[in-house]
Structure 1
Amino acid sequence: MVLSPVAGSPGPVPRRRLGAHGPEVPVLGLGSWNTWDRMSRSDAVALIRDALAHGVELFDVAHYDMGPHAENARTDLIFGQAMRDAGVAREDYLLCGKLWLWEYPRKGFAEQLAVSLDRIGTDRADLVVVGDFFGELDVRAVVRDVAEQIAAGRFTSWGVNNWSAADVWRARRFAAEEGLTPPTFAQLKYSLARRAVPEGEPFAELFADGLAMQASDVLEGGILAGNLHPQRKIGADPGDIRDRIRDTYPLIARVAAEFDATPAQLAIAFCLTNPAVATVLFGASRISQWQDNLKALNLLTHHPEDLRTALSATWVDADTMNPTGTER
């Protein structure tokens, strides 16, 4: 299928490697949580086609059915149907799925994948994120169970979400000892406001060792784009700093205006100034929103150093979060 970008929009999106053991991916990726269910079927198809035309073939899609996400969301079902409506072949996009640890090992990875992949309408992902656990975890068992699914052809690379840096090290070292596939990226909350964990020393050492970052929640559920009080469910609030993030928005808006950009473009470009970031995930529920966010790449090209200097005062979690990922 040959696709062309919408006239007047930026060209192909640059690519970075998702960790030393991971694939090359576009620096922008589209997430699914409460996204595809907020647009019409035809708009979803148009957005997917335009994303692919720009070389953005990375889609983060999950089945939300466990722990705090036991909500029977339909975004994965809608995404799968939109891909079929768009006529996109499975080999033409990268699927990043989720494996949840809320009910693990009672609900194992093979069972989870069978359900989630069937809902999308495929038999494999390309990447998965293993995440959302707090407390004790048998890291070795997780690495072995992930390896079984890789051997079964369900996916080829994996990352983690809401793991401590120490547990990521354990997983990588055990995988090396056993000749298994190590986690190649960490999906971390990272934004203009939340920097303590992604930019802290524990993860910096992992990034120096070849791990990559997949930046998520970069718009804080829309707050950093100007929707200060979202009516939909948004991500967790580590450190209980969301009101402080809202308080920084006027400054963010002023800085964006100085760069002749939108706050959303500013937020996305900021994350990409960090060389550890391989890709930034965000949701878009309108094609105009998607096309606007694409222009963050122009900002990144022309003002990478100026952005970080101008946004030094928007960091608000330094006194609430330890770089290890725990609250102070």
Structure 2
Amino acid sequence: MVHSPAGSPVPRRRLGAHGPEVPVLGLGSWNTWDRMSMADAVALIRDALAHGVELFDVAHYDMGPHAENARTDLIFGRAIREAGVARDQYLLCGKLWLWEYPKKGFAEQMAVSLDRIGTDRADLVVVGDFFGELDVPAVVGDVAEQIAAGRFTAWGVNNWSAADVWRARRFAAEQGLTPPTFAQLKYSPARRTVPEGEPFAELFADGLVMQASDVLEGGILAGNLHPQRKIGADPGNIRDRIRAAYPLVAKVAADFDATPAQVAIAFCLANPTVATVLFGASRMSQWQDNLKALALLTHHGSALRTALTDAWADKDVMDPAASGA
């Protein structure tokens, strides 16, 4: 049981029917914790918890295009311990990769990942990233084994097609197993076609919810048009279009007396299918600035989405039925 501060300033939404109640903001791990000092990481974790943001997305990046042996999960594990945070005071969302599945099974992946962080369990996992055919029943069954083993209690998918999510949910229902309860999708004022398309709309109507990721497009939608670090994949090869859309995002931000990052976060949260938005922060000022997106959402959510209509960069590029990966 995770205990959040009474009267938490950050609103909460349920992460699908089988998921826990979570803050609408979560901190992601890729290139987050390895871009700051340990003291700053500890301070950021403590401040996040003080605001009721206890959701941390932490993964071991070591397969497929992420075969880089990143240390961000090791750093997070040390920082959360140095912050003096008990395990029941935060929600840990891990990753299970499909790049080398089933050669590298979920039991092995979880054992390695949890050991690196320094804990015996996660709360959630995201199963994701694959191309080609997927044995959906096998994945659902293997996830169920990890749930039965106490490794986590709820799960979601990362960049699956809507058709594969339907297969997973239907098979789980038939077998009495836990279905995926959320979809982690790339979503922003510029990337909208897959998460707002009809295939996923039907899933959201069925109780699935969205965990929005890549909302700042690796920093591009925050004004860093040419990030020097590795950032997420570019479905549809629209990154130049996103750069071209940035001036509009910046103008809308100025019109609403906000920052582009605040605008991007508030845009996503104004969509009722979004349960939580993941973003990275590499310094305290950035984290505190992004928190102000919540006030922007409260006062201008609908108007903001209307103002950003022309920032939609993948409207005529992506297939709504695609995975978005």
Deviation string for 1:270-301 (max 9, x for gaps)?
A: 00010000000000000100000000000000
- The gaps in structure 2 that reach 5 residues or longer are none
Q: Which residue of 1 aligns with 2:247?
A: 250
Residue type at the aligned position of 1:199: E
Query: Paired residue for 2:27, among 24, 30, 44?
Result: 30
1 CA distance for matches of 2:22 and 2:9?
12
Match of 1:13 among 10, 13, 19: 10
Q: Would you say the 8 A contact 2:160–2:323 is kept in 1? A: no
Residue 95 of structure 1 pairs with residue 122 of structure 2: no
**Deviation for aligned residue 1:326:** 5.6
Aligned residues: 322
- Contact preservation (8 Å) 2:4, 2:89: no
1:41 to 27, 35, 38: 38
Correspondence 1:309 to 2:306: yes
CA RMSD of aligned residues (A): 1.5
Name the structure 2 match of 1:53: 50
The match for 2:60 among 55, 59, 63 is: 63
Q: Match of 1:130, SS?
A: strand
Residue identity opposite 2:121 in structure 1: R
Structure 1 CA distance for aligned equivalents of residues 105 and 30 of structure 2: 22
Report the equivalent of 2:216: 219
Aligned to 1:130: 127
What's the counterpart of residue 177 of structure 2?
Answer: 180
Inter-partner Cα distance in structure 2 for 1:219 and 1:156: 29
**Superposition TM-score, scaled by structure 1 size:** 0.96
How far apart, CA to CA, are the structure 2 residues paired with 1:167 and 1:304?
31
Matched, 1:195 2:192: yes
Whole-angstrom CA distance in 2 between matches of 1:191 and 1:3: 28
Say yes or no: does 1:318 pair with 2:308. Answer: no
CA distance in 2, matches of 1:11, 1:183: 27
* Matched residue, 1:277: 274
The 5 Å alignment of 1:143-154 reads 143-154=140-151
SS, match of residue 56 in structure 2: strand
- From 214, 227, 236, give the equivalent of 1:230: 227
For residues 12 and 298 of structure 1, what CA distance do their matches in structure 2 show?
A: 10
Letter matched to residue 258 of structure 2: A
Question: Where do 5+ consecutive residues of structure 1 fail to align?
Answer: 5-9
Q: Distance in 1 between matches of 2:155 and 2:322?
A: 20
**How much does 1:251 deviate?**
1.1
Residue 148 of structure 1 aligns to a residue whose secondary structure is: helix
CA change 1:3–1:203 in 2 (3 A) is closer
Identical residues among aligned pairs (%): 86
Deviation at 1:11, TM superposition (A): 6.0
Which letter maps to 2:245? T
Q: Determine whether 1:76 maps to 2:73.
A: yes
Structure 1 letter corresponding to 2:280: G
Q: Residue 305 of structure 1: CA displacement?
A: 1.1
SS in 1 for 2:108: helix
Q: Does 1:265 align with 2:262?
A: yes
Looking at structure 1, the residues matched to 213 and 187 of structure 2 have their Cα atoms a distance apart, in angstroms, of 6
C-alpha distance in structure 1 between counterparts of 2:188 and 2:126, whole Å: 19
Residues 326, 149 of structure 1: alpha-carbon distance in 2 compared, 3 angstrom cutoff: closer
Distance in structure 2 (CA, Å) of the matches to 1:96 and 1:11: 20
